[in-house]
Homo-oligomer: A and B are copies of this chain.
Amino acid sequence: MEDSVESKLTLKSDASSEPFLYCCSACDCSEEPLRGKVFRNRTKARSMSMPSAPSSAKFRRTQSLHGPSPVTTFGPKACMLKNPKAVMHIQDPASQRLTWNKPPKSVLIIKKIRDASLSVHICCVDIVFVPCFNGFQQKNMIVYVERKVIEDPAIANESFVSIKKNICTFREDYDDISNCVDFIICLGGDGTLLYASSLFQESVSPVMAFHLGSLGFLTPFNFDTYQSQVTQVIEGNAAIILRSRLEVKVVKENREKGSVEEISLVTNGDKTMQYQVLNEVVVDRGPSSYLSNVDLFLDGHLITTVQGDGVIVSTPTGSTAYAVAAGASMIHPNVPAIMITPICPHSLSFRPIVVPAGIELKITLSCDARNTAWVSFDGRKRQEIAYGDSITITTSCFPLPSICFRDPVNDWFESLAQCLHWNVRKKQSHLSSEEEEF
């Protein structure tokens, strides 16, 4: 290795005390086993470059959310076998930002129909929906809304009627709008975003989610200053978090013929259904009073049998939803993983587990199950699973790009505190601070 590389690496080594070490821009990692040697020299270099410590401090601002590139040489003689086909290139989630190829021309506004009360509903339409719509009109953007929302007689007040004719509508499960929508606005709670996700079985347009009441995990924006916030995003200035989704395939045995036929989603066969879920797939015992009893396979191997109320397979995003209620640890949405959480398991030792995002899971009814199981996808499309059917789950290629209020880390901890009261403790007043033993 020549001096020039050495010196280049000396610079890089300044960052060695940083939480994140980028792979060199020239991407020498193809020349194997070079990296290990580099790293060994790096140490020497670092000790020599101590005076440059201040420049190190400068690097500190570079936050990273994926780990450092691990060395690929191990001691003096060993290294990792090079396998270019299995190399993955991912951008650090901490620096993911949204941009636009062309200015967005259409927007989908998601607003659920059902509401706590009529007065609240109308108020919500007047204060939130209509201004929101008008804002997009001024930007000359086409606004899409679900037809059911438009047709709700409850909201037939004056301000709404006047805008109604300018709204494009669609019907869930009938009209595919995924090619027409450049941008998505969600008004409501986390459920609104789950619904939005379900409309997009492949690529999802950027989503900006407003909580109308209190902060949600999926709805970081406050509606108070929506106008400036939306403008900023449309002008192309926004941090995004790619929330991974699960691709779930349900294969139902054709009981008449007694054979299993896997028919593609595209051909609309009646025996295979495919779903993209943002939070979780839940398999439970449904209305039965017997325990559910399902087998869990990882990459084709039977891993364990779940006996209990059911099992939750969730994304990291879903770890703070049903899974946390069932006892799981909480996983930041940028961790590439899938979480498996039993619901009230019969076994005391059935702790939740977290497996790598690339794994393929399969769930089937156990042969000694006394009744069928039920499956649902983000709480929707609930259906029965009989013996012979299977549910296949893996991480999807189509994440949901959600616009951050601040950034992926701060937004998450803010939600943990506000939505789940995570580690909120009694504020000790001074007079009693003298004892804080339990």
Contact = CB atoms under 8 A, between A and B. Distances in A.
Contacts of A351: 324, 329-330, 348, 420, 422
A60 to B, nearest CB: 8
B358 A67 contact: yes
Interface stretch (A102-110, A143-151, A152-160, A252-260): A102-110
A31 interface: no
A142 interface: no
A126 B214 CA distance: 44
Interface string A364-377: 00001010000010
A191 interface: yes
Given A181-B75, A332-B354, A351-B348, A432 B68 contact: no
A436 B291 contact: yes
Contact of A419 (B67, B68, B286, B426): B426
Given A213-B428, A429-B213, A436-B307, A356 B397 contact: no
Interface string A61-92: 00111111111111111111101111111111
A356 B124 CA distance: 37
A344 B343 contact: yes
Contacts of A341: 329
Contact of A426 (B22, B214, B249, B321): B214
Interface in A280-298: 286-287, 289-291, 293, 298
A76 B264 contact: no
A167 interface: no
A160 to B, nearest CB: 17
Given A68-B358, A359-B19, A29 B89 contact: yes
A55 interface: no
Q: How many copies does the complex hold?
A: 4
Nearest to A417: B304
A120 B431 CA distance: 7
Contacts of A291: 436-438
A36 to B, nearest CB: 6
A281 B321 CA distance: 26
Interface stretch (A1-9, A132-140, A198-206): A198-206
A349 interface: yes
A91 B83 contact: yes
B39 A202 contact: yes
A299 B409 contact: yes
A413 interface: yes
A162 interface: no
Nearest to A207: B74
B358 A92 contact: yes
A317 to B, nearest CB: 11
Contacts of A178: 75
The list of the 4 closest CB pairs from A to B, nearest first, reads A75-B205, A213-B432, A191-B435, A67-B357
